[in-house]
């Protein structure tokens, strides 16, 4: 039997299921992933843990279920990811770049060559929350009938997994500027956002309610900009200085 080399970009692409309700869907996603050579599934606060129904629907993709990470909160499931793409059953506007599935697949695969990447799939009932989407650099929507746009969770996972496979087979990945940059991980971005929130409070910038909206806008800004690690350090140094901390001395950068 021909097996695939596990040491490839596919192993660094994780599908993250956020609060799935039905264990059967978890199994069906595992099957959808394995048929396309994907192996990494992370579960955030699943309503049902993988059980007999999940195994039945996985149809032999038991290994994915066994190795699935189980997390209480989303940040743990994506901490080391440099790229996080959220899925949406509806076409949302404004704050995110919304990609078509082939372009999302191309980016996931290209960036998986240099680091960990994630695709977030939402709850069967309500999809992903705005707070969850605010952790994504891009959104992807499978173009569907606008009057009946929502696919079953595992059916959507199958479309994305297939696009990734197709992209890999046809080698549609092309080097992009982002790949050459040492981008901050989700955890490092969270550190920046936490520091921004603290600094706004410390310097008395705005009232707490409008700060929430402001912080969301800043999340969108940094998700579009995709700062690298040095840039995050510079920004945090500036924030520390604004807070009047000693750590606010100017960090050295390779440009100095």
Of 121 and 183, CB closest to ligand SAH: 121
The β-bridge partners of 71 are 44
CB of 120 to ligand SAH, least distance (A): 7
CB of 103 to ligand SAH, least distance (A): 13
Please say whether the beta carbons of 117 and 82 come within 8 A: yes
Phi and psi for 147 in degrees, rounded to 5? -85, -5
CB of 163 to ligand SAH, least distance (A): 11
Q: How many residues does the chain have?
A: 256
Of 96 and 222, CB closest to ligand SAH: 96
Q: Give the separation between CA 40 and CA 10, rounded to whole angstroms.
A: 9
CB of 25 to ligand SAH, least distance (A): 9
The β-bridge partners of 42 are 16, 69
Of 64 and 156, CB closest to ligand SAH: 156
* Residue 31 burial (CB count, 10 A): 21
Of 120 and 179, CB closest to ligand SAH: 120
Please say whether the beta carbons of 192 and 200 come within 8 A: no
CB of 204 to ligand SAH, least distance (A): 38
CB of 186 to ligand SAH, least distance (A): 18
Within 68-185, residue ranges assigned H as helices are 74-78, 101-112, 130-133, 153-169
At residue 154, the 3 state secondary structure works out as helix
Of 13 and 121, CB closest to ligand SAH: 121
Please say whether the beta carbons of 25 and 125 come within 8 A: no
Of 18 and 239, CB closest to ligand SAH: 18
How would you classify the pairing of strands 69-71 and 97-99? unpaired
**C-alpha gyration radius of the chain:** 19
CB of 170 to ligand SAH, least distance (A): 22
Enumerate binding residues for ligand SAH (CB under 6 A). Answer: 87-90, 121-122, 124, 126-128, 141-142, 144, 149-151, 153, 156
The β-bridge partners of 228 are 183
Of 35 and 144, CB closest to ligand SAH: 144
The β-bridge partners of 98 are 139
């Amino acid at each position: 039997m021909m097996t695939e080399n596990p040491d490839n970009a596919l192993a660094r692409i994780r599908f993250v299921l956020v609060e799935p309700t039905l264990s059967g869907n978890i199994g069906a996603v595992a099957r959808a992933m394995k048929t396309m050579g994907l192996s990494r599934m992370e579960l955030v606060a699943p309503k049902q843990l993988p059980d007999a129904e999940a195994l039945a629907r996985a149809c032999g993709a038991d290994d994915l279920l066994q190795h699935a990470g189980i997390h209480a909160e989303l940040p743990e499931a994506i901490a080391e990811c440099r790229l996080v793409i959220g899925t949406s059953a509806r076409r949302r506007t404004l704050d995110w770049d919304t990609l078509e599935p082939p372009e999302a697949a191309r980016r996931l695969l290209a960036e998986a060559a240099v680091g960990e990447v994630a695709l977030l799939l939402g709850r069967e009932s309500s999809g992903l929350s705005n707070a969850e989407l605010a952790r994504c650099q891009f959104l992807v929507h499978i173009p569907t009938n606008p009057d009946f746009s929502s696919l079953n969770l595992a059916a959507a996972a199958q479309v994305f997994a297939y696009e990734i496979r197709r992209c890999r087979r046809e080698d549609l990945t092309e080097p992009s500027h982002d790949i050459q940059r040492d981008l901050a991980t989700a955890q490092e971005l969270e550190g920046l956002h936490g520091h921004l929130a603290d600094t706004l409070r410390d310097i008395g910038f705005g009232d707490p309610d409008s700060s929430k909206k402001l912080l969301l806008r800043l999340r969108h800004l940094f998700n579009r900009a995709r700062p690298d690690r040095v840039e995050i350090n510079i920004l945090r140094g500036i924030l520390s200085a604004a807070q009047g901390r000693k750590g606010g001395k100017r960090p050295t950068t390779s440009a100095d």
